[in-house]
Structure 1
Amino acid sequence: MRTATRWALVALVLVVAGAVALWPRSDDRSGQEPVAAARPAEDLGVARNLAALRPCPRGGQDGPQPLRGITATCLGDGASLDVATTVAGGPALINFWATWCQPCQEELKVLDTYAQQPGAVPVVAVQVLSGESDGLELLARLGVHLPSLHDGADALRKALRASPNLPSSFVVRANGDVIQVTSPLIFSSPDQVREAVR
């Protein structure tokens, strides 16, 4: 094969390769975002059954003004709830906790004991800064069955301008006022809870 023929073949291969590279394709998605593979939603049914949480309160009233319009997931059944309606009518106690917070674990047990006593005001535990499945697993392990919300966006704590420290608790008064509990910072007995919500 002569040199001129070889160069002609190389040029032809390059022209064909360029044409193939530039040829429009029928599935061209230019200008569109790539489609991500859909991840299946985590099935928490088994974890919810094992945790056996008491139902989240669902009041018919608007609830306290600072809480209106904030939604969270009821850990017990996965329903999305307006947080304000869970404490509507007060008094009630809101407790923020996370799975990695060791003092939270002890306090959750105290709150659960208090909530089961006659005359106790409703206690709503709000899990923040940790995943739902981890929260359900922890509550099941602790034997805590409090009605619990999962606030993945931490919107409720932000709305109440709560300090970043956990655990933290707020009392919702019958008149709709929401007051942070500062003494004690962490409940160690049901009597302390009873005193705080009086």
Structure 2
Amino acid sequence: MPKKTIFFSSLVFVLGLALLLFFLNREHFSTTQTTKTNSAEPSAALAPRPECPETALPVSLPCLGADSVPNTSKAQYTVVSLWAWWCQPCRVELPLFDQLRNEHPEYNVIGVHADKVAAPGAQLLTDLNVELPSYHDDRGTFAAALGLPSVVPITIVFDERGTMLGYQAKAFTDYAQLEQAVASLIAGAS
């Protein structure tokens, strides 16, 4: 056999082997990644969280890491932070909602964690030292029922009957901005 034929045959063989190994390794990596992301299944233990007050909101959701309890608050408005554990702006904003909850007893301030897996959401609140009661929406039913955009974070305000007064799909980085936005949503509905 001529040297050129042997050389090209060897080159094709080596390239074919390299491609085979590449695709086998890629398939293995994909399987490993799937296994890692599926390890935080909903059955994972949740960090203990505050109880969630029952609300007149249009969607019934399970409480994230605790039970729902009757709402004994005299709050006239419910302020909801729609958030997710993987959302970086949410990490900045959640402590602001905790502050709003503490400084405004006239508001029932709650969160709705919008992700398929509950455990990372409960853990994030614990890590941030945020005591905001939060519900868990693993199917996106809350946002869908209200016709909200498919983004997080979103701030939504409801009256005491559960009627949505308005929302802002905006990340807040300053407490005064959040407080003003909530007041504006309430005033705009009056």
| 1:111-162 per-position Cα deviation (integer Å, ceiling 9, x unaligned) | 1122111545111100012411111111111111101000111101100111
Quote the residue 2:60 is aligned against: 71
Please point out which of 86, 107, 113 is paired with 2:93. Answer: 107
Equivalent residues of 1:72, 1:152 under 8 A apart: no
Query: Which residue matches 1:142?
Result: 128
1:193 matched to which residue of 2?
A: 178
* In 1, Cα distance between equivalents of 2:156 and 2:72: 14
Q: Secondary structure at the match of 2:52?
A: coil
Aligned pairs, number: 143
Alignment of 1:173-192 (within 5 A): 173-174=159-160, 176-182=162-168, 185-192=170-177
Aligned to 1:13: none
Equivalents in 2 of 1:86, 1:73: separation in Å?
18
Give the whole-Å Cα distance in 1 for the aligned partners of 2:72 and 2:61: 10
Shift of 1:196: 2.7
- Secondary structure (helix, strand or coil) at the match of 1:124 reads strand
Alpha carbons of structure 1 residues 152 and 142: separation in structure 2 relative to 1, 3 Å: same
Mapped contact 1:112–1:145 kept (Cα < 8 A): yes
2:52 aligned residue: 56
1:59-95 deviation per Cα after TM superposition (whole angstroms, max 9, x unaligned): 5xxx25xx0xx32110131x479xxx89997401111
The residue aligned with 2:148 is: 162
Query: What residue in structure 2 maps to residue 6 of structure 1?
Result: none
- For residue 3 of structure 2, what is the aligned residue in structure 1? none
Match of 1:98 in 2: 84
- CA shift, 1:42, in A, is 2.3
Percent sequence identity is 27
For structure 2, the residue ranges without an aligned partner over 5 or more in a row are 1-40, 184-190
Q: TM-score, normalised by structure 2?
A: 0.64
1:171 to 149, 157, 167: 157
Give TM-score, length-normalised by structure 1: 0.61
Coordinate RMSD, CA, aligned: 3.1
How far, CA to CA, are the matches of 1:72 and 1:86 in structure 2? 19
Larger radius of gyration: 1
Q: Secondary structure at 2:61's aligned position in 1? A: strand
8 Å contact from structure 2 (residues 78, 109) kept in 1: yes
